[in-house]
Chain A
Amino acid sequence: EVQLVESGGGLVKPGGSLRLSCAASGFAFTNAWMSWVRQAPGKGLEWVGRIKSKTDGGTTDYAAPVKGRFTISRDDSKNTLYLQMNSLKTEDTAVYCCILEGYIRGWFFDYWGQGTLVTVSS
Chain B
Amino acid sequence: DIQMTQSPSSLSASVGDRVTITCRASQSISSYLNWYQQKPGKAPKLLIYTASSLQSEVPSRFSGSGSGTDFTLTISSLQPEDFATYHCQQSYSIPYTFGQGTKLEI
Contact = CB atoms under 8 A, between A and B. Distances in A.
Contacts of A61: 94-95
Contacts of A45: 36, 44, 87, 89, 98, 101
Given A104-B50, A108-B91, A47 B97 contact: yes
B34 A46 contact: no
Contacts, number: 62
Interface in B41-55: 42-46, 49-50, 53
A9 to B, nearest CB: 14
Summarize B's interface: helix, strand, loop or mixed.
Answer: loop
B98 A102 contact: no
A105 to B, nearest CB: 5
B99 A106 contact: no
Interface string A95-122: 0010000101111111011110000000
B100 interface: yes
Interface string A45-79: 11100100000000001111000000000000000
B53 A104 contact: yes
Given A44-B100, A45-B87, A45-B89, A63 B46 contact: no
A39 B64 CA distance: 24
A112 B45 contact: yes
A46 B87 CA distance: 11
B43 A44 contact: no
A63 B95 contact: yes
Contacts of A97: 43
B44 A106 contact: no
Interchain residue pairs A-B with the least CB separation, the first 6:
A112-B43, A108-B49, A107-B91, A47-B96, A106-B50, A45-B98
11 contacts: A62-B95, A63-B95, A105-B31, A106-B50, A106-B91, A107-B32, A108-B50, A109-B34, A109-B89, A112-B44, A115-B43
Interface of B: 1, 31-32, 34, 36, 42-46, 49-50, 53, 87, 89, 91, 94-101
